[in-house]
Amino acid sequence: MTGAAGIEAAVRRLLHEAIDRCQNDPGVAGPLRHQLARLDRPVRVAVVGPWRCGKSTLLNALMGEVVAPVGEVAGGDAFVWYEDGPTPRATAWSADRPPQELAVARSASGMRVGLGGPAANGLTDVVVRWPTRSLRHLTLLDTPAFGADEPGPVVERVLTEADAVLHLTRDGRDGDLRLLEAGRESLVGQAAPVPVVLVRSRADETGGGQIDALLTARQLARRQQRDPRVAARCWHVVACSGAVGLAGRTLAEPEFAALAELARVPRPELAGHLLSADRFLRGELPVYLDTADRAALVDRLGLFGVRLATTLVRTGCDTRAKLAAELVRRSGLAELRESVHRLFVDRQGVLKARSALATVEAVARTRPAADGRALLGAVERVLAGAHEFAELRLFAALHGDRSGFDAETVEEARRLLGGEGSSLPARLGVEFDAPVRRLWEAATEAQRRWRERAEDPRLRLGQRRGAQVVARSCEGMLAELVDRSRRPAPA
């Protein structure tokens, strides 16, 4: 397996070289040192999108607790970083004032950050540290909402600060997707663009919020994934209802009890009360549920979520745990979280190296001629020798159905490139506890098969080049197995 160790080591050496060349210019050396430190920190995933696309709700759903929106409290223009930490803490940063600690209060389902008045003016960043397992291996970045016509400043900073992107859109319009075109003119952008997963957010509102809204949204996401314009720029397209997913991850027993009480009402009879929020809140229900409980359910799940949850209770989700798990699955959140971990977290070494290379390239273009040429040459050499980036490009092509391979071959290629996990057993499609001999046999057979494809004159050039990439990945796995066999056994 090629892994990230090789590219990370090369990028570390390049960063040290760039810092040495720029040490007399603190304004340039600072960002380089920042990138060096980032190599040892979790991957940064930015959540971006236009107004009212559901960013805050989706962030909370990914974290499993109600922590966002902090950006709105900070005036809407600050970038908000959500990181793992031992205790809840929030720090605000601005261009002309020292950092300030913000008041943090726990709520029943998460946290509230106290910030308002003059203190909120001019903030550029708010760093929120929150103890949760969901943030252990990634940092989430909440970005200011941008209009479809002018996303420039936000996009420019996202491309600098983030290693990967969740791009939210309500309906997949071209105007919402401008970020997908950005950053591709540089050397690093051409070799390895910032990886993007497109999220059709607020999926529960699809088709007017009918009971089959989530199914329809998933079908639209699959259709959009097949669109060559989208497939060429996105690794994956997912439909997700952040509201339903968050409700599933944070569902409490009193809420389940209220939903179970509603589920006792026959569906045709209950449907009339769920035509509008006003009917549900003010109407005479066949079962007792006070106004405050009704309002809490609508606030948490929306009318669609209440319809879905009561239907699920009637059809077998008769405990809080069962209902919560099914809400998360139906919402698309489970698929989104799996995509984030499989595509971003499992590849974080390569993605962070890509970000560091982009910074070195940007610095090189501002340096005097000799230093600039030397650093750009070093960036080109790293890119030319980085098989990991060739894997990323092929992986994106496989997702976008641009490889030319048949479906079965595409599935095998995706698996060998780490699409189902980065471990050797996951890549080779064998049992997780398979012995070394079994791994060696599987890797040898896969390498032989893909080497034959790479040399098959009947295949098109693009297919042969793709097969070459997979064959080299197999060779990397064999090299790792050889390396394992040489390591001394633990005492």
Which tens digits make up the pLDDT trace of 404-444?
788 899 999 989 998 887 789 999 999 989 999 999 999 99
Rounding to the nearest 10 degrees, give the CA dihedral for residues 202, 207, 213, 217: -70
At which residue do the structure tokens 């079962």 appear?
Answer: 287
Percent of the chain with pLDDT over 70: 90
Report the pLDDT value the prediction gives residue 117, as an integer from 0 to 100: 54
Phi-psi category of residue 458: left, alpha or beta, with phi > 0 → left and psi -120 to 50 → alpha = alpha
Report the pLDDT value the prediction gives residue 3, as an integer from 0 to 100: 47
At which residue do the structure tokens 């050039």 appear?
Answer: 461
Report the pLDDT value the prediction gives residue 2, as an integer from 0 to 100: 41
Are residues 216 and 354 both part of a single domain? yes
Tokens of 274: 């769920």
Are residues 283 and 413 both part of a single domain? no
Please give the model's pTM, rounded to 2 decimal places: 0.87
**C-alpha–C-alpha distance, residues 434 and 440, integer Å:** 10
Are residues 420 and 436 both part of a single domain? yes
Dihedral sign, CA of 29, 32, 36, 42? positive
Q: Is 274 helix (H, G, I), strand (E, B) or coil?
A: coil
Are residues 470 and 427 both part of a single domain? yes
b/e 184-201 (16+ beta carbons within 10 angstroms → b): eebbbbebbbbbbbbbbb
Q: To which H or E segment does residue 125 belong?
A: strand 123-129
Report the pLDDT value the prediction gives residue 1, as an integer from 0 to 100: 41
**C-alpha–C-alpha distance, residues 59 and 141, integer Å:** 9
Q: Is 365 helix (H, G, I), strand (E, B) or coil?
A: coil
Tokens of 447: 């390498």
User: Would you say residue 136 lies in a domain?
Assistant: no
Q: Which residues pair with 101 in a beta bridge?
A: 91
Are residues 233 and 358 both part of a single domain? yes
Q: Is the peptide bond before 286 cis (omega within 30 degrees of 0)?
A: no
Number of independent structural domains in the chain: 4
User: Would you say residue 204 lies in a domain?
Assistant: yes
Are residues 344 and 381 both part of a single domain? yes
Are residues 29 and 97 both part of a single domain? no
Domain housing 161: 1-64+144-241+332-386+398-402
With 0-12 CB in 10 A as exposed, 13-18 as middle and 19+ as buried, what is 148? middle
Are residues 216 and 338 both part of a single domain? yes
Name residues of the chain where pLDDT drops below 70.
1-5, 71-76, 108-109, 115-121, 147-151, 172-183, 399-403, 487-491
Would you give the DSSP letter of residue 66?
B
User: Would you say residue 216 lies in a domain?
Assistant: yes
Furthest CA-CA distance within the chain: 80
User: Would you say residue 437 lies in a domain?
Assistant: yes
User: Would you say residue 370 lies in a domain?
Assistant: yes
| CATH, residue 343 | 3.40.50
Mind listing the pLDDT tens digit for each residue in 294-340?
999 999 899 999 999 999 999 999 999 999 999 999 999 999 999 99
At which residue do the structure tokens 């980085």 appear?
Answer: 386
Are residues 424 and 470 both part of a single domain? yes
Question: Which whole-number Å values give the CA distances from 427 to 125, 413, 464, in the listed order?
Answer: 39, 9, 20
Q: Is 142 helix (H, G, I), strand (E, B) or coil?
A: strand
**C-alpha–C-alpha distance, residues 79 and 131, integer Å:** 20
Would you give the DSSP letter of residue 135?
G
Average pLDDT, the chain: 87
